Structure 1
Amino acid sequence: MSDSLFADASKRLEKALKYVSISEDAIARLKYPKASLTVSIPVRMDDGSLQIFQGYRVRYDNTRGPAKGGVRYHPKVSLDEVQSLAFWMTFKCAVLDLPFGGGKGGITLNPKELSKLELERLSRGYIDAIADFIGPDVDILAPDVYTNSMIMGWMMDQYCIIRRHISLAVVTGKPLSIGGSVGREEATATGAFFVIESIMPKFKRLPNETTVAVQGFGNAGAVLAELLSQAGYKVVAISDSQGGIYAKKGLNIPSIRQYKASSKGIKAVYCEGSVCNIVEHEVLTNQELLALDVDILIPAALENQITEENVYDVKAKYIFEVANGPITSAADNILAARGIYVVPDILVNAGGVTVSYFEWLQNRSGLYWKLEEVNQRLKAKMVEETERIWSISQELDISMRTAAYVHALNRLGESLDAGGTRDYYINSI
């Protein structure tokens, strides 16, 4: 267990406990997940064969409200990973002061190997298996790695079929036509952009003087790269699972997104209408991207990308974690010793769950907001909590990551202690 992702994630909690005054009862409860479920999902494939897929759902904590968390489809999904993600989600919701606990789910597979019909059968089968474990007041699902609004729509529909009533709020990140919220698809990137815009002025960094590399050109990474480019930052490198590209003069992100949408690949291109011209660029690996001499590095792919093995290659001055857990705890300590400033995932990528909360509210009220209102509410939340965590880090002279956990622990501890503590019962005898 010592080399598990969850064991490594828990080390961040231990460091923050030195700076908070919460009960031993609360600490004990936060060290273990509330409930874990492992299921087998039989799926009839297009060729008539039957395949069995392994699925998971973890509710880590629900003290502050129903569990909330995404569902990812990936070959490396495991119970250890899902439990770690649910742990992070618990603290993420507390950081943003959302009325949710932390949950997460996943299925072990390579979704690129399945047809759309097979993916639909798999998604509905997953809900068949976990329907008694979830609900709009129990545990709410959302998209994550290799899941999207259509898959969320299938899951919501299947839950409604099982329950025999409409329950839009059981899933967030749905298509707009069946209860989704405007701004949800871009929310992780938009929230991260607000954090970056709040932090960089504190170091007197101007956008047009700041270079950026983004590892991961999926939904969050691609949208964030474009937002930063529009704001004047020089995005010089991006990558996806196949590798990346680098151009010292900067990349035209909209044209690259257009090219990827049509070809499923990445290339430095400039597109006007349907005509695309190749721009001079270097091809590089994901590891080479992490080692680029840039001002800002944005890991927006998967966990454990920066480890003890490659941490000394990192040259960026600032790291904003858009992925969950992209830096191991050991590498984190080395980065801090080297003076590299890291802004943690439980703050940076919290825009997704925040707008999921907005969608849940809209589903339950039947009142839907315009994009401007969603983004205004999101910005207010992200900026407010960024400023609070910055103040804690400065006051206690600790890293932004430890400050974020301190901030979350104070809120979680208060909620956990509201049910009674050892001291309460001893003093009442």
Structure 2
Amino acid sequence: MSATTAPLISLTWTDHLTGHRGYLVIDRLVRGVASGGLRMRRGCTLDEVTGLARGMTMKEALHHDPAARYIPLGGAKGGIDCDPHDPEAYGVLTRYLRAMRPYIEQFWTTGEDLGLTQDLIEAAAAEAGLVSSIQAVYPLLDDERAARQRLSDAFAVEVDGIGLDELAGGCGVAEAVLATLDRAGVPYEGTRVALQGLGTMGGATARFLARAGLRIVAVADVQGTVAHPDGLDVEHLLRGRDAFGAMDRTALRPGERELPPEAWLTADADVLIPAAVSYCVHTGNQAGITARWVVEAANMPVVPEAELLLAARGITVLPDVVVNSATNAWWWWTLFGDIGADADEAFAHIRRAMRALIDRMLTRAAADASTPRAAAHALVADRLPEIAERYGCHR
């Protein structure tokens, strides 16, 4: 798919009370519906949302399985240029959803993303007069009542104090790392990992990797980096984080050091996982990275120019459209009935799917002598015509 192709719909909204701007981009519709989360952050732009919407089209295509109940949707994304900590943020969110109500009712299924939780979106959606943030997909379900109950039950599942919905994406990221290590013949024990972010995605990723035997040597949040060369106590850090993923500095264990915010980038690690914000790896800081792999758990964390420089130094970037795609896929596998509201079943399904996807991508990259991102794009280009032919597509 071409990066220069215009999306189907691109909207800019201005809040009449605060002046904050919001955006909706529908890259394409498949079966008349597109899927993609809603983010809120200060500085969010239309270009950013456009890139994210295109990424969602790719994630949907990459998980297409003709034998599954889950049939892919199109890609979309929403964004609001507002600090989620701003006292006015909830009102802005509610008014944005009210303005976007016709699209959410008919075309756009959305959910949590950077700066927003699913509970917050659903509460604001109800105030905006919506049935649900994913109601556009309901007409595509064989049994809407059973499907909605299954998803509701899945959201109620907790594993060691963390909701299954929060763990699904991190399970996928962790499995992408483990599958890559397996292909390279690198043992899990002793492999060092540095992460940016201990929120929904970063926290779950850290848990799964630590339990697999990897050492989490550095974690960054909005206040800075916490590090330990022998490995951080991940479960302790998870218990002490706040709603935004910030770690409790008053409860650090012996040997855990506080370092500057950028220290996670230059940590002595084999795997670097940006799991928080977009555009955090750029030409100005990529030279300090010594990790062998950069694994994009966040959306668009590595700018293209930096990725070229990293590749020239032999550092492999595993792209977001593959790495963090399990979050979106888990929703639909559950709603459409490929899996039930069960953690073990969900994790097993995620692991199988992610290992197969990583294997296809890296095999294609080796065959084409290309980067993993180029290989992922090639896989999408192969699948989109089939999806359009089978299910209909609007661009």
TM bracket, shorter-chain basis: 0.7 to 0.9
Does structure 1 residue 311 correspond to structure 2 residue 292?
no
How much has 1:408 moved relative to structure 2?
A: 0.8
Contact 1:226 / 1:254 at 8 angstroms: preserved in 2? yes
Does structure 1 residue 102 correspond to structure 2 residue 75?
yes
Does structure 1 residue 226 correspond to structure 2 residue 198?
no
> Quick one: distance in 1 between partners of 2:243 and 2:90?
23
Identify which of 325, 335, 358 aligns with 1:386.
Answer: 358
Aligned residues: 370
Structure 2 match to 1:143: 112
Q: Which amino acid aligns with 1:72?
A: R
Contact 1:321 / 1:348 at 8 angstroms: preserved in 2? yes
Does structure 1 residue 62 correspond to structure 2 residue 36?
no
Structure 2 match to 1:373: 345
Tell me the SS of whatever aligns to 2:166: coil
Structure 1 unmatched ranges of 5 or more? 1-12, 14-26, 43-49, 270-275, 421-429
How much has 1:244 moved relative to structure 2?
A: 0.8
RMSD: 3.0
Change (3 A) 1:204 1:417: same
Pairing 1:217-366 to 2, within 5 Å after superposition: 217-261=198-242, 265-266=246-247, 276=251, 278-361=253-336
Q: Which amino acid aligns with 1:131?
A: R
Structure 1 match to 2:161: none
Tell me the SS of whatever aligns to 1:385: helix
Q: Which amino acid aligns with 1:78?
A: T
Contact 1:189 / 1:220 at 8 angstroms: preserved in 2? yes
Contact 2:33 / 2:136 at 8 angstroms: preserved in 1? no
Pairing 1:155-170 to 2, within 5 Å after superposition: 155-158=124-127, 161=129, 169-170=135-136
How much has 1:392 moved relative to structure 2?
A: 1.0
> Quick one: distance in 1 between partners of 2:151 and 2:61?
30
> Quick one: distance in 2 between partners of 1:232 and 1:324?
26
Tell me the SS of whatever aligns to 1:389: helix
Contact 1:302 / 1:326 at 8 angstroms: preserved in 2? yes
Structure 2 match to 1:71: 38
Contact 1:300 / 1:322 at 8 angstroms: preserved in 2? yes
Tell me the SS of whatever aligns to 1:303: coil
> Quick one: distance in 1 between partners of 2:283 and 2:26?
30
Q: Deviations over 1:258-307 (max 9, x none)?
A: 222399743578xxxxxx56322332223221112211110112121211
Does structure 1 residue 39 correspond to structure 2 residue 10?
no
Contact 1:290 / 1:297 at 8 angstroms: preserved in 2? yes
Structure 1 match to 2:94: 124
Change (3 A) 1:166 1:286: closer
> Quick one: distance in 2 between partners of 1:287 and 1:417?
47
Does structure 1 residue 83 correspond to structure 2 residue 50?
yes
Contact 2:104 / 2:134 at 8 angstroms: preserved in 1? no
Deviates more, 1:300-309 or 1:409-418: 409-418
Q: Which amino acid aligns with 1:153?
A: E
Using structure 1 for the length normalisation, give the TM-score. 0.78
Q: Deviations over 1:109-128 (max 9, x none)?
A: 111122xxx55433332221
Contact 2:109 / 2:134 at 8 angstroms: preserved in 1? no
Using structure 2 for the length normalisation, give the TM-score. 0.84
Q: Deviations over 1:232-275 (max 9, x none)?
A: 10100000122111111110011112222399743578xxxxxx
Tell me the SS of whatever aligns to 1:72: strand
Structure 2 unmatched ranges of 5 or more? 65-70, 139-147, 158-163
Tell me the SS of whatever aligns to 2:321: helix
How much has 1:415 moved relative to structure 2?
A: 3.7
Q: Deviations over 1:114-173 (max 9, x none)?
A: 2xxx554333322210011223x62100100111121132244246x35xx67864499x
How much has 1:69 moved relative to structure 2?
A: 0.6
Q: Deviations over 1:390-423 (max 9, x none)?
A: 2211222222111111001111134457799xxx
Contact 1:229 / 1:235 at 8 angstroms: preserved in 2? yes
* % identical aligned pairs: 27
Contact 2:150 / 2:334 at 8 angstroms: preserved in 1? no
> Quick one: distance in 2 between partners of 1:401 and 1:130?
32
> Quick one: distance in 2 between partners of 1:245 and 1:213?
10
Deviates more, 1:389-398 or 1:276-285: 276-285
Structure 2 match to 1:154: 123
How much has 1:341 moved relative to structure 2?
A: 1.7
Q: Which amino acid aligns with 1:376?
A: A
How much has 1:99 moved relative to structure 2?
A: 0.8
How much has 1:184 moved relative to structure 2?
A: 2.1
> Quick one: distance in 1 between partners of 2:109 and 2:335?
9
Tell me the SS of whatever aligns to 2:40: strand
Tell me the SS of whatever aligns to 2:272: strand
> Quick one: distance in 1 between partners of 2:188 and 2:104?
43
Contact 1:320 / 1:344 at 8 angstroms: preserved in 2? yes
